[in-house]
Structure 1
């Protein structure tokens, strides 16, 4: 009884020897956020920076309540948010339906890799503003052109991540599946796709982040609603409190979506980092 009572508890792999990066950083992250907020409060309220360049948190909160109730640039904050969400999520869903299958095909087929790799690698480094004029010329200034611009920005990192995930599958696993009588389709479905899921989820996380960063560029042209439009419209009138409020809202939504993707990854890919 005494031996069982004072027995050493098991530790996670690497914990005993201090593996690099082991442990939770939630406490440090919370302290960092609190320190940055405190610095903002002190600097803005002490008058070290003019309100035009850095409004106080109180002014931003007041503007948030005002825009949420009375609106800004012809729409309330909820209407701006729903418009931007529909654009980003629509582009993200379209990218998931196309980029992931194409990335997988690029990984398992040299023909697909030869067809899709050059155009993807060509336009991937280009900023969305570079091909925005061509998107407007081809598709006009309607809603589709905005969604398509965001889709193009999301597509490349997701396709490349899927291709990289497929190419990183251990050849021993593939040979083991073939030795047990698996067909080519079974190997792709049960071995390659499952092994590539971690990198596919990483590409999805990167893609949704890129989508939010491209939102402002997409809403530069003939927009009447949207968070990006609201920020750009406020900047024209030097309303820095609205600009910072819009930046915070966009950042919060991007952060929430990233947390959701992490949760889905833990649920669907529980073996990540354990094999």
Structure 2
């Protein structure tokens, strides 16, 4: 059998192994979810944990149905979700528009890095609530200060990941393209951007998580709608079933947005998933 004859067989075996590995991963994921739900059900059913701290799955589901149909504090569940998603997406996409180009420039120019990197690194570890008090003083208690806080939370992961992606480009690829007569525009499109996209997409996923992390902090001041506000308000009245339900809804929407970013990554970097 020649090498050409062996190639299709090896390709089929590789695809088969990949499919098997994917099925195993999916089975492990499903098993983990089912096991956690079973443990939760057993703990609540036998009263091993106070229902005030860990309500049963049935109680959480009942809270979901009630908030979905009757609302919470005068707002329907979809209105709380719309308010939160509007703030998250406004802050997140603004951070993408600013942070990704800024990070690429910081990776390409030491002077740009010297100007902006100290600013990003200084405020990056600051607690969100500490920043929010200052933003409220500057921008008021409306949505502007909330979106600004989410923007500031999302910016550092985006700019740092883009900067590292730009600095890790293989110079051999750049020189090879230059020897073939590539123009600056061609270098950017065919060498620079494809090399940076994986790191940028990773930064986008991390940044989205940071945005969700500070959502509650951004909605606890002068808000009347939003998932973070609903969770915070329910916690004041010890409504743990509403709190856990809100966390589940936030987590599921976060997974959906993360899935969308991963699909975008597959679209812009298809060679990594071939």
Same fold (TM over 0.5): yes
Aligned mates of 1:251, 1:149 — CA distance in 2: 20
Pairing 1:135–2:135 present: yes
Q: What TM-score do the two structures reach when normalised by structure 2?
A: 0.91
Aligned to 2:14: 12
Aligned to 1:37: 37
Aligned to 2:212: 212
Q: CA deviation at 1:23?
A: 2.8
Q: CA deviation at 1:8?
A: 5.0
Q: CA deviation at 1:72?
A: 0.8
Deviations 1:101-137 (A, max 9, x none): 1111111122211111111111112231231111111
Aligned to 1:101: 101
Q: CA deviation at 1:96?
A: 1.2
Aligned mates of 1:111, 1:199 — CA distance in 2: 22
Report the secondary structure of 1:53's partner residue.
Answer: coil
Aligned mates of 2:86, 2:221 — CA distance in 1: 17
Aligned to 2:248: 248
Report the secondary structure of 1:272's partner residue.
Answer: helix
Report the secondary structure of 1:229's partner residue.
Answer: helix
Task: Give the CA RMSD over aligned residues.
Answer: 1.9
Aligned to 1:228: 228
Moved more, 236-245 or 132-141: 132-141
Asked if structure 2 preserves the Cα contact closer than 8 Å seen for 1:104 and 1:163, the reply is: yes
- The aligned runs of 1:71-86 (5 Å cut-off) are 71-86=71-86
Report the secondary structure of 1:23's partner residue.
Answer: helix
Moved more, 247-256 or 177-186: 177-186
- The aligned runs of 1:93-242 (5 Å cut-off) are 93-242=93-242
Asked if structure 1 preserves the Cα contact closer than 8 Å seen for 2:266 and 2:273, the reply is: no
Aligned mates of 1:269, 1:66 — CA distance in 2: 43
Deviations 1:3-52 (A, max 9, x none): x9xx9553339x69xxxxx9331110110010000101110111111110
Aligned to 1:23: 21
Q: CA deviation at 1:209?
A: 1.3
Where is the helix percentage greater, Structure 1 or Structure 2?
2
Aligned mates of 1:213, 1:76 — CA distance in 2: 23
Aligned mates of 1:149, 1:265 — CA distance in 2: 26
Aligned mates of 1:130, 1:176 — CA distance in 2: 49
Asked if structure 2 preserves the Cα contact closer than 8 Å seen for 1:100 and 1:158, the reply is: yes
Aligned mates of 2:235, 2:87 — CA distance in 1: 22
Report the secondary structure of 1:271's partner residue.
Answer: helix
Asked if structure 1 preserves the Cα contact closer than 8 Å seen for 2:79 and 2:225, the reply is: yes
Asked if structure 2 preserves the Cα contact closer than 8 Å seen for 1:73 and 1:233, the reply is: no
Q: Decide whether aligned partners of structure 1 residues 244 and 231 sit closer, same or farther in structure 2, where only a CA change above 3 A counts.
A: same
Aligned mates of 2:176, 2:51 — CA distance in 1: 65
What number of residue pairs does the alignment pair up?
263
